[in-house]
Structure formats: C-alpha cells, structure tokens
Chain A
Amino acid sequence: MMKKDILIVGVGGQGSLLASRILGALFLSQGLDCKLSEVHGMSQRGGSVVTYVRAGENVSSPMVSDGEADLVISFEALEALRYAHTLKKGGTLVYSTQEIMPMPVITGAAAYPDDIASRLAAFDLKVLAFDAESAAEKAGNGRAANVALLGAASPIIGGTPEEWEAVIRATVPPKFVDVNLRAFALGLEEAKKG
C-alpha cells in the first residue's frame, strides 16, 4: 500500500504552508487520500514550526508519530536536527544548510551547534543537504527555497515531472511560476548529485 508520511519543518514565516499545499495538490492529483496539518498563531512568530503531510489510500491522523516519518524536509539546519528523530529507520532528511539563530543563541544563553552534520550521522538516515536559498536565488528569487527543497525531495516523494509541473503551476501565483519551476529543477539536480 502506497503511504507517504512527510514533515516540513523550519522557522515561522519561511513559507512551509506553500510547500505543504503543493504536496497536497500532488497527492490529490494522484487520487490518494491526503491530510495536512499546519501551525498558525503564536508559534508562527519566528518559532520552530512543523507541517505534517500524509497521503495514502486512507489517512486517519493528520499528524505523524515520532519515528514513523518517511521524509523530513527542513528549511533550516538546526531544525533538521530537531526533527531527525521523527524519521523512521532509513528515512530521508532533505535540508537547507541555511542557519537562523534562535533567541537563546542570540542572547548568549546557548550556542548554535557546529556539528549538525555529524550529529545527524548518528541517526540511521539518508541525508541530503544543500543551500536551498542560494539555489532559489540562482533561480531568480530566494523565496523559492521551499520549492527547491521539494525538487530535491521529489525522487523520494514520487510523481512524474509533468505532475510536478502541473501542481506548481496550479498552486503558485502566475508571475512566480517560472522562477519556482527553475528552483524545482535546481533542487532536483542536487538530488541527482546525491
């Protein structure tokens, strides 16, 4: 039975809602049942945020239990480490190496870890890390980092290039379609590099 349990994580305000809606549209176009769970309100103010995307023949809970996710897409390096434990053994983590300092680090109460990559290696995961913001800037707009990450994760998510193009066209405002399609392609190249 086809089943996809995905987390999209990052810092409030980074655009995870658009990414989850593109995924929702993709799974719907594939005829699957799908549930998304979003975060609104106080946590959106620069806090750690998570959006769940679940697809399958029949989805009950809109959320994914720890240790059961197939894929985590993170917009930020520290958040990748924060949610690594939600992946199942052998699950895939795709993350942007961008670093955003949380307030305890800014105030000097804590340090931003400088060993994220090696600590991730302690989890039994497939990891793909790249600078999604730079890739998006190369595509024409840094705000398209979310779609670059989707491109990088697309081999795990499934879907044909035509299906992806169709859902991006249907979800993104018309004037940003081209830049997002380019960002998606650049993300996919990162995945092919491995």
Chain B
Amino acid sequence: MKGTVLTMKKLMLGNEAVARGLYEAGVTFASSYPGTPSTEITEYFSNHEDVHAEWAPNEKVACEAAFGASLAGARSFSAMKHVGLNVAADLLYSVSYTGVNGGMVVAVADDQGMHSSQNEQDSRNHAKGAKIPMLEPSDSGECRDYAKLAYEISEKFDTPVFLRTSTRVAHSQSLVEEEERVLPPKKPYEKNVAKYVMMPAMARPRHKIVEERTKKLAAWAASSGLNKIIPGSEKIGVIAAGIAFQYAKEALGDRATYLKLGMVYPLSAEEIRAFAAKVEKLYVIEELDPFIEDFCHAAGVECEGKSLFSLCGEYTPAMIRKAILGEDSPAPAPAAIPVRPPVLCPGCPHRGIFYVLHKMKLTVSGDIGCYTLGATAPLSSVDSTIDMGESVSGLHGFLTADPSMEDKAVAVIGDSTFVHSGITGLINAVYNQSNVTVLILDNSITGMTGHQQNPCTGLTLQNKPTHALDLEALCHAVGVRRVSTVDPYDLEKTEAILTEELQAKEPSVIIVKRPCALLKWVKRLPPVSVDPDKCRKCRKCMSVGCPAVLFSKETGASIDRTLCVGCGLCEKLCPFGAIEGGNA
C-alpha cells in the first residue's frame, strides 16, 4: 500500500514520525497512557481530525481498548514506555494467541540511560516472552516507514506487532518524507470463538499457530528487505538495530559491513549464519541485554558483544571505536563542579506537602511522578519509589507487618497515578483492614510527562469537556469513610489533618489539592522580595528547596525574580517577616 509522496523532506521527532506513519497507514483508533519517551506519539496523532485518540487510565486499559478496536475491524494503536509494557503485558501475551482482525501495533519506548525512568529494562524480552514480532527503527524516517509496515505485518501474519524505540530515537529529529493517508477497507467483525475465546481447549491449538507464525516471520524478515546488509570492509562484521546501529555506523563507517536488523524478534539463524560467514570477525552491538548476541551463540555463531560492551546505560560512537578499533577518544576530563539535578519547580504544590511530611518526620511510601523529587534534598521526605501504585498497596503490607508504624507512615500518589494503579491498592487496604493514610496529590494534570489530561481533570486528550472523576466519592465508594481535602500551601491545616488522620484506627485519604504551577490557567503572581534589614540569616526559607530562593552568608536570603512565581511559601516560613509580597 504505497501512498503518493506529498512534500519535500521535513525534520521530525521520532515520535512525530511514528504518528505520521500511523496516520498514513489508515489507523483510526489510538489509546495510550503517557510515559516518557513515548508520550508525543499519541499527542501528534490526536492532531488529525479523522481519528480517535485518547488517554486511558493505564496501559492495560489502553491496549485492551486497542484490541477491541482491532476486533471491530479498525487499524488500532497503543503507545507506552518500557515499564508501561509490564502493565499491558497481561493482555498482550494472550492477544499473541488470538491474533487480530484490523492491524494492531503497540509502540514501546525504552529509556537507555534512564533519563526519566525507574529502571532500564529491555523490552525486547517481552517480544520474545509474548512471541510478538518487534520492529526497531533507527531514525525518524524509519519510524514512519516501520510504523506503516507494522500494520502490513500485523494483518499478513495475524499478530499484534511491537514497534520498539528508545529515548534517542523517540526524541531525536531527522528527515522524513510524508506520503498520503491510505485508508484500508474496513474489515467486518466475524464471531470466531475458536480464535478469540482463550479458554484451554481453544488456546492449545492457538499456541501451535503462534509457534508456526514465529518461524514464518523469521523467514519473512530475512527475505523481505527489512533486514539489510550495508557493505563495507569485511574484516569487521557488525549486527545492530535501532540507535545502536547509528552509533556503530558513526564509529566504524565503511570499515565494517553491517547486518542492520529492522526486525529484532523473531531472528533468523540462517540469515545470521550467512552474514557471519562473510566477515572475518563478528560483533553484536546492542544496548542493554545481549538479546541478539545470545541468539547468535545459541545458533552456534561466534561473535563478541557484552565481553566488550556494558549491560548498562547508553553507548556512544567513541565507546564503539575504542572497543573495536582500539582508538581512544581524545576528550579531556569533565570539570569537577556541582551537579544540577532536576528539582520541583518554583511554586510547585508538592513543595508544601513535602515540607510538612519532612517536618513531621514521617515514613513516606512514594510513587511515580514529579513528586518523586520529594526524595531529594532538602525536602528528603520519600522513603521508597518503585512503580505506579506501589505507594498505596506497599504501605498496606508495611503497616500490616508492622502496625506500630500506623501513626508514622503515609503513602503519597499523584491524581493520574492513583487512577492508573492506586485504586486497587486502596480497595485492598480497606478490604484487608489496615489503617493506611493515603495522600492523593491532586495537581489537576499529569505533570512529569508534560501536562496530559486524565480522568480527574474533566478534559479529554483534545481538551474537550468530559466527566471529571470525583476522587472523594470514589474513595467513599471503596469503603474509606475518612476523606478530607486540603491545600498543601496551608501548612498548619495540612499538619493538623495529617496528625488527626494518622491517629485514626481506619483507612483515611487526604486529597492534597493545588494545581501545577506550570498550568497556563494558574496565575503567576509578582515575585516576593526580602527586606535585608529584617533577614536574620536563619535559612528557614531555604528548607523547602525552592530554586528561586537564594542565600549568601554576607547578605542573607534573596529572591531570583525571574524564577519566583510569588507562591508565598517562603514568606510563610520566615519567622521574622523578612519576606513579603507573596500570596501568603
């Protein structure tokens, strides 16, 4: 299905190019949960008029919705970050068996180097585990091409297809040629119990089909031109895919011959053996796990990979040149200077609550979002952060194991994260009767991923009005009787409510409500100022870690007027009334 080429080449973000590919492939349904570095795919896709695009409460719901759309005959899509795939895996391991009706593609973005993630898992292992083919583009042009091709593969082989990117593919821009959108004829839905009802008697024959399909896919990838040989010196052979291929190409140029894999699962032993026979020495260059390398070894192909390269973090061309050519990089050592870690923004509503939690010396079960930064100095209040929702369910286990902590420990979870995976944990705490105190940090947006709407905000992905989930009513409905709401900038009231709820001999929820300071509708107030005559240099204002509050031993506190949004939190903390002009 080749469309007409529309315009000259454009610079596009990898994520924008995936969205373009989806659009050109005639995709009409996309459902995702935001997650860096995958978020912008669904946002770009939603800019088209003739598609349905939505934020779902979590990746499992999103993927299930996409499957439903496929079953109805539409080409459907879901995007997520690597850890989101763990949430969606429940569906995907079985949709691998049922196959699809309309083509179904799931984009998964890995985060080598953990720029914005809690782990560095290699999602190719899920492709192998679920027996779902996985394509891996290496630049924006391929993002568009492979996204389109994935739908052809999905329908030809009756399987969902993974499209794997990484931070450096998703968030890099390179040239893309656009083509026209071609809508495939809509497939009718036909009831087919043997294919779609996965009970044991039906699933057993489907498993055999999956194994056959995997063999056919490996053979197809080897002959389809998707995997390419890029000729150069045959002294060095390199097998690589995705961004690692670009690093290898940069490092070695035509001093190597490359087998560039477009499909990273399944792999063809014949194809790899034939390539290995052509070159003197074979290297597999892949970030994270030895996924391709292990396959080579199992196929009896001699190669080097992780003996030379790390299992952790991102690679660079210089690293590859050094490992393979022995050419050392001439780079001087970086200067030894203070680090600049990410921080909560000036005016951030989370600053108030973490100040109080720190002051009360509570044990804090944390979660995933901007408020993970509450773990960093000087607020230093978060004790643990694992995954989406663990704050609530983990605290239940913690308090059940050690009830003496009931009045000293809380869970903090954002509004979007609570809807994603916190609700079931709260139900469990009520059902199994632990006295948890759960703080839902409701900042009216999904913050860290760059301001996405969610079921609590009353707006859709397209910013159209919709039902706003009532957190208070929901908590009551699952059996929490003690539900209160507080503004985290009202420090006294926040502390009083916390003290009271920690003493309660039943579960309680405190909705900590104040909008994200970066939201356009949140008014930025004039900056506060310090009266140097009143400042006693006690550093109390420094205890909240606001980037806009500065301090010098000579002159005391001062305010960075370009950063300050006038929230007035520091003003409230000053015991000498030296800070004025804020919204205190």
Interface residues in chain A, defined as those with a beta carbon under 8 Å from any beta carbon in chain B: 11-13, 21, 24-25, 28, 33-48, 59-63, 65-68, 78-79, 81-82, 84-86, 88-89, 100-113, 119, 123, 133, 142
State A112–B546 Cα separation when bound (angstroms): 16
* B residues in contact with A36, CB < 8 Å: 11, 172-174
Q: Name B334's closest neighbour in chain A (CB-CB).
A: A85
Question: Given known contacts A65-B316, A65-B329, is B168 in contact with A37 (CB within 8 Å)?
Answer: yes
State A102–B338 Cα separation when bound (angstroms): 7
**B interface bracket (residues with beta carbon within 8 Å of A):** 35 or more
Which of A35, A61, A112 touches B247 (beta carbons < 8 Å)? A61
Question: Given known contacts A41-B115, A107-B377, is B335 in contact with A119 (CB within 8 Å)?
Answer: yes
* B residues in contact with A112, CB < 8 Å: 338
Query: A25 to B331, Cβ gap below 8 A?
Result: no
Q: Name A83's closest neighbour in chain B (CB-CB).
A: B334
Query: A82 to B335, Cβ gap below 8 A?
Result: yes
Nearest Cβ in chain B — how far from A166, in angstroms?
15
A-B CB pair tally, cutoff 8 Å: 187
Query: B310-331: which have CB < 8 Å to A?
Result: 316-319, 329-331
B526 within 8 A of A: no
Which of B318, B341, B373 touches A65 (beta carbons < 8 Å)? B318
B378 within 8 A of A: yes
Nearest Cβ in chain B — how far from A28, in angstroms?
6
State A15–B560 Cα separation when bound (angstroms): 18
Which of A84, A103, A110 touches B335 (beta carbons < 8 Å)? A84
* A residues in contact with B332, CB < 8 Å: 67, 84-85, 123
B449 within 8 A of A: yes
Question: Given known contacts A38-B171, A60-B246, is B340 in contact with A108 (CB within 8 Å)?
Answer: no
Question: Given known contacts A42-B115, A65-B316, is B250 in contact with A60 (CB within 8 Å)?
Answer: yes
Q: Name A119's closest neighbour in chain B (CB-CB).
A: B335
* B residues in contact with A103, CB < 8 Å: 340-341, 343, 376-377, 545, 547
Query: B161-181: which have CB < 8 Å to A?
Result: 168, 171-175
- Sorted from nearest, which 8 A-B pairs have the closest CB atoms? A67-B331, A41-B116, A41-B36, A47-B342, A66-B331, A65-B318, A62-B172, A110-B338
With A61-B249, A100-B560 already in contact, 7 other A-B pairs whose C-beta atoms are closer than 8 Å:
A28-B175, A46-B342, A66-B318, A67-B318, A104-B341, A106-B545, A111-B338
B551 within 8 A of A: yes
Query: B550 to A43, Cβ gap below 8 A?
Result: no
Query: B172 to A35, Cβ gap below 8 A?
Result: yes
Nearest Cβ in chain B — how far from A3, in angstroms?
12
Nearest Cβ in chain B — how far from A128, in angstroms?
18
Nearest Cβ in chain A — how far from B131, in angstroms?
31
Q: Name A123's closest neighbour in chain B (CB-CB).
A: B332
* B residues in contact with A133, CB < 8 Å: 562
Query: A63 to B316, Cβ gap below 8 A?
Result: yes
B486 within 8 A of A: no
* B residues in contact with A21, CB < 8 Å: 11
State A110–B340 Cα separation when bound (angstroms): 11
* A residues in contact with B333, CB < 8 Å: 85
> What are 12 A-B pairs at a CB distance below 8 A?
A25-B11, A34-B173, A35-B172, A46-B342, A63-B168, A65-B331, A84-B335, A89-B330, A101-B547, A101-B550, A103-B545, A111-B338
Query: B317 to A109, Cβ gap below 8 A?
Result: no
Query: A45 to B344, Cβ gap below 8 A?
Result: yes
* A residues in contact with B338, CB < 8 Å: 78, 102, 104-105, 109-113
B364 within 8 A of A: no
Which of B173, B448, B539 touches A42 (beta carbons < 8 Å)? B448
State A34–B13 Cα separation when bound (angstroms): 12
State A12–B370 Cα separation when bound (angstroms): 14
* A residues in contact with B139, CB < 8 Å: 35, 62
Query: B345 to A46, Cβ gap below 8 A?
Result: yes
